Amino acid sequence: MIISIIQPDIVWEDKTANFRKIEELISSFRVKPDIVILPEMFTTGFSMNHEKLAEPPGKESSRWMTAVASEGSFAICGSYIVRDKGHVFNRWIFITPDGKSRQYDKRHLFRMGEEEKYFTPGKKRTVFRYEKIRICPNICYDLRFPVWSRNRNDYDLLINSANWPESRRDVWITLLKARAIENQCFVAGSNRTGIDGKDIRYSGDSMILNPRGEIIASADRNECVITAEISPDELNEFRKKFPVYLDADNFYFCLD
């Protein structure tokens, strides 16, 4: 399976401009991917202006993603601001070329950015299969909480869509490697670049890692696309030769 990460300089609170920017980056593909991964809040940047920016399920951003997936014959995913049944969510959406979708609501809201004041945390861990790959989505701050993304031998690819600041660049890289190693899985971390509307700087560093924690594709701080091929067969062979999961501790956690 071929996966591509798009690393844009997100235009602050301008959905139309961001759709256009991402379309331009998609047009630069040299190889057609099976999955295209976008950052957190790819339509707006990490804004708390939900009154202006939140949209109902299935509306503007969802329709754009559906059209792009259909035209490109690939699945596309990323998060944006959704208002659903009176609650506001930082919602990650995965849409296939035939218009089917899966979703995940960000569990760990970034209190240092006051996200918990405006958004409702998700309560459901999501794992699903697309073609031959089982996928577990995370959003940005979720990366710091290994229990939430613990592989119960039920997924092969961990996707994290993020707006991760340059000031914590080393943490981003370290945690992506840790999640790959401890879960014996591929990891795809999609981050933005540039400076947002709050003057927060982002260094990009989007990357794809193998189950050994080795970086197999990476971006610098520029707008770009990175692509890598991941093999479920190679992953299964590695897990058979080095079955760490068989010695994992059992634990349980409760959601409020």
Q: Indicate which residues carry an active-site annotation.
A: 40, 106, 140
Residues contacting residue 207 through CB under 8 Å, at least 6 positions apart: 5, 173, 176, 188, 189, 215, 217, 218, 219, 226
Cα–Cα distance for residue pair 67/216, rounded to 1 Å: 30
Q: Output DSSP code: residue 112.
A: G
Cα–Cα distance for residue pair 237/211, rounded to 1 Å: 11
> Within the chain, what is the greatest distance between any pair of CA atoms?
52
DSSP tally for the chain: helices H, then strands E: 6, 14
